[in-house]
Structure 1
Amino acid sequence: MVPGSFRAPYAADPTRTRGREHPTAGDGVRGPRSAFQRDRDRIIHSIAFRRLAGKTQVFVAPDGDHYRVRLTHSLEVAQIGRTLARALQLDEDLTEALCLAHDIGHPPFGHSGEDALNAALAEHGGFDHNEHCLRTLMRLDSPYCDVPGLNLSWEVLEGLAKHNGPVTRPGWALAELDAAFPLRLGEHASLEAQVASLADDIAYDNHDIDDGLRGGFLHLDDLLTLPELADQWRDVERRHPCSNRQAQLRELVRTQIGLMVNDLIATTRARIATLKSVDEVRAAGAPLATFSPAMAEYERRLKQFMYQRLYFHPEQKATAARARDVVARLFAAYRADPALMGESWRATLPEAEPARGRHIADYIAGMTDRFAIQQFRRATGEQPDGLTNV
């Protein structure tokens, strides 16, 4: 047996998928891939996925080549997700598809752009990047001749909709999609989706430390105020006394990831050992993929530290305010003069609200940071300064 090829009874099974919103014939004509492998490949080949290369992760429009963007972050999440899925005998392809797609709904400039679009659509249902991920994959990115969207499997869509848990009050975007292709929003998602969500946490908790140190927003002495990190740093220095500081810091990040991954695997194995089906996972009434209580508490304090020292750093907040202004003014410019929009978007612009505003938001949300800056210059004649601080 190939290592990792065994699938546990509580794992999602591609041969028993609940199907696609639009059934299609001849799925096997392009090679011997499972339904979830085809989903992963559709995501990788999509325009929306490629655009992640130009979208903010931590730093807006970074000048440096070594900082993470949404694409590189998503690849790192997928690597961690596959490791977790293999160890827990889950479907690796479904896990990877969810990891790769999870950030596709982010507009330019990350959460700053999201805040601006949410404010612009305040009277028309708002904007949420998680729901926009589903909207993009099910409606907006349409490479096929006969169906809208990427026409992904039900399990991928439910995992993206519920990777943070059941959704009791969906926004307008998710409500519309759920009405067309019900995703059982009130239940917990598969273990693959739960693992993908935690792989995301592990990746950004630790890789953002790497980027924060590189950008000069974090300093080792500050990190060492966290006792667990201080213990790990002393161990790194003991194991690699002759290495340079940069190599030691990267070893610290790798060590952190390893500790979190191993803790998650051990804790989750104990919680799922007696499960007999994926339906039991969905009916459990609580997440089954979890950290231990001690690791969960440390991860909570690490996040709190990162918000205080990096995400809410005064320079970061100032840059975020400028990014929000760019997106807000772009929205206002397109509403006032739709001729400024791309030709195909202008031609399909609805006349009435709320569809009109949502259509403009769809157009902006698909932009990369670079394209948004370019379009802002075209629409306003101004150069938005101060949109990168690294």
Structure 2
Amino acid sequence: MVPYACHPARSRGRLHSEPPSRLRDAFARDRDRLIHATAFRRLRHKTQVFVAPEGDHFRVRLTHSLEVAQIARTLARVLAVNEDLAEVVALGHDVGHPPFGHSGEEALAAAMAHVGGFDHNGHALRVLAELELRTPAFAGLNLSWEVLEGLAKHNGPVTGTPGWALAEVDAAFPLELESWPALEAQLAALADDIAYNAHDLDDALGAGLVDVEEAAAEVPLIGVLWRQVKAEWPGETRRRLLVPQLVRELIGAMVDSLLAETRDRLRALSPEFPDDIRRAGRATVAFGPGMEEELAPLRTFLRARMYEAASVQALREPAAAVVRGLFAALQADPARLPGRWRALHAEAAPDVADRVIGDFIAGMTDRYAIRTHAELTGTNPMPADLALF
């Protein structure tokens, strides 16, 4: 590895001291702990873009996280930094998402406004540092400082006052929130961008929300890549094969731009230690300016044709109603919380006890939220024929 890579033997450690593993270094151990965590498994039934998608081919939070991890690990290998650290940050970046994606998050944030609100990034740290229980030795997964740092700064330095969930983790184990994260974490963050730009387009095409020729006409980058694909395979008429090739080319174009720009920034910075990356004053991992300009129309296109599509929007309010209804029912009668959560609610200070209700709801899968809402309220705002995957 290069000198500015994070080396597990030089990790800043864990909040709770533990003997080292006989078989794995610190970051590999963290990755394995995350994969075995209940919160990670629940991502299988949490919305990425589509709520309870029909068919088995669309992304959910789990498959998205796996794809991000694959891209992050490859980038880390090419740049000779720590692959395990990049992978575990990528795998963990979405574990704080509540049911129903951004619709669920907005509803939960509004319901919790009186106790500091909710954001999925801060909640990811709360899940991994406190709520996930895997051993009587300590709460949380007791992950390495570098992993928590990377997750806390998934969107870059945290300026101003952090949300309450992140602030509590930072108070117990200070994460230097105002600096940039290590290179491995920055790679995981941009791998997330690469994955959702490419795979959201893939899912939009697969769902029939857009046609590939429409995308090629409206998004210059897609137009260039689509023409290249068709020129490379002039006799191929099966779009079911050409579209995946287009997605591969899109991922490759973003990866190439990221590697070129990042190498340029590394040469200019000449880092010798991981802290040189943290103190660089700007991101070290980035797309080139040309790619940033080319991605803007793609993001606009996806927003208009996928995220704001009528079929996607039709479920936003019902999903939000499920979250609001759950919170209101449990706030009115906390005794209906399951045993562990009921005890935590009783032990919490009265002015923040409702955060426990938020923790419980945030951990729900889409289908568990719908089922529990029906049990608590006797109603189901979601369409009756919704395919609960």
TM exceeding 0.5: yes
Alignment of 1:58-207 (within 5 A): 58-168=49-159, 169-207=161-199
Is 1:59–1:389's contact at 8 Å kept on the other side of the alignment?
Answer: no
> Deviations along 1:75-130, whole A, 9 cap, x unmatched?
00011001110111110000000000000000000111100110001111100000
> Deviations along 1:7-44, whole A, 9 cap, x unmatched?
1111111110000011113x224x2x110000000000
Is 2:221–2:295's contact at 8 Å kept on the other side of the alignment?
Answer: no
**Equivalent of residue 269 in structure 1, options 263, 287, 300:** 263
Is the counterpart of residue 245 in structure 1 residue 239 in structure 2? yes
Is the counterpart of residue 14 in structure 1 residue 8 in structure 2? yes
State the alpha-carbon separation in 2 of the partners of residues 211 and 11 from structure 1. Answer: 35
**Equivalent of residue 291 in structure 1, options 273, 287, 293:** 287
Whichever residue aligns with residue 357 of structure 2, its letter is I
State the alpha-carbon separation in 2 of the partners of residues 299 and 230 from structure 1. Answer: 12
> Deviations along 1:209-266, whole A, 9 cap, x unmatched?
1111111212223211112211111111111233301111111011100111111111
Whichever residue aligns with residue 209 of structure 1, its letter is L
Whichever residue aligns with residue 307 of structure 2, its letter is Y
Is 1:333–1:379's contact at 8 Å kept on the other side of the alignment?
Answer: yes
In structure 2, list runs of 5 or more residues that go unmatched: none
Whichever residue aligns with residue 38 of structure 1, its letter is R
| Worse overlay, 223-232 or 65-74 | 223-232
Whichever residue aligns with residue 11 of structure 1, its letter is A
Q: Residue 383 of structure 1 corresponds to which residue in structure 2?
A: 380
Is the counterpart of residue 235 in structure 1 residue 228 in structure 2? yes
State the alpha-carbon separation in 1 of the partners of residues 209 and 337 from structure 2. Answer: 37
State the alpha-carbon separation in 1 of the partners of residues 102 and 382 from structure 2. Answer: 19
| Worse overlay, 305-314 or 172-181 | 305-314
Q: Residue 331 of structure 1 corresponds to which residue in structure 2?
A: 327
Alignment of 1:284-323 (within 5 A): 284-323=280-319
> Deviations along 1:354-387, whole A, 9 cap, x unmatched?
4211000000000001111110110111233338
Whichever residue aligns with residue 239 of structure 2, its letter is R
| Worse overlay, 234-243 or 319-328 | 234-243
Whichever residue aligns with residue 171 of structure 1, its letter is G
Is 1:268–1:288's contact at 8 Å kept on the other side of the alignment?
Answer: yes
The aligned length equals: 381
Q: Residue 204 of structure 2 corresponds to which residue in structure 1?
A: 212
> Deviations along 1:169-191, whole A, 9 cap, x unmatched?
20111111111100000101001
State the alpha-carbon separation in 1 of the partners of residues 322 and 276 from structure 2. Answer: 47
Q: Identity across aligned pairs (percent)?
A: 52
Is the counterpart of residue 366 in structure 1 residue 363 in structure 2? yes
Whichever residue aligns with residue 111 of structure 2, its letter is A
Is 2:322–2:380's contact at 8 Å kept on the other side of the alignment?
Answer: no
| Worse overlay, 294-303 or 337-346 | 337-346
Structure 1 runs of 4+ with >3 Å offset: 350-354, 387-390
Q: Secondary structure at the match of 2:345?
A: coil
Whichever residue aligns with residue 158 of structure 1, its letter is E
State the alpha-carbon separation in 2 of the partners of residues 95 and 246 from structure 1. Answer: 32
Is 2:123–2:165's contact at 8 Å kept on the other side of the alignment?
Answer: yes
The structural deviation recorded for 1:301 is 2.3
> Deviations along 1:279-323, whole A, 9 cap, x unmatched?
110110100101110001112221122111111123322211110
Is 1:117–1:361's contact at 8 Å kept on the other side of the alignment?
Answer: yes
State the alpha-carbon separation in 2 of the partners of residues 253 and 60 from structure 1. Answer: 23
The structural deviation recorded for 1:352 is 4.2
The structural deviation recorded for 1:389 is 8.9
State the alpha-carbon separation in 2 of the partners of residues 21 and 181 from structure 1. Answer: 6
> Deviations along 1:39-94, whole A, 9 cap, x unmatched?
00000010010000010001012132111100000000011001110111110000
The structural deviation recorded for 1:347 is 2.5
Is the counterpart of residue 344 in structure 1 residue 340 in structure 2? yes
Is the counterpart of residue 53 in structure 1 residue 50 in structure 2? no
State the alpha-carbon separation in 2 of the partners of residues 178 and 383 from structure 1. Answer: 39
Q: Secondary structure at the match of 1:367?
A: coil
In structure 1, list runs of 5 or more residues that go unmatched: 1-6
Whichever residue aligns with residue 131 of structure 2, its letter is L
State the alpha-carbon separation in 1 of the partners of residues 382 and 11 from structure 2. Answer: 49
Whichever residue aligns with residue 117 of structure 1, its letter is L
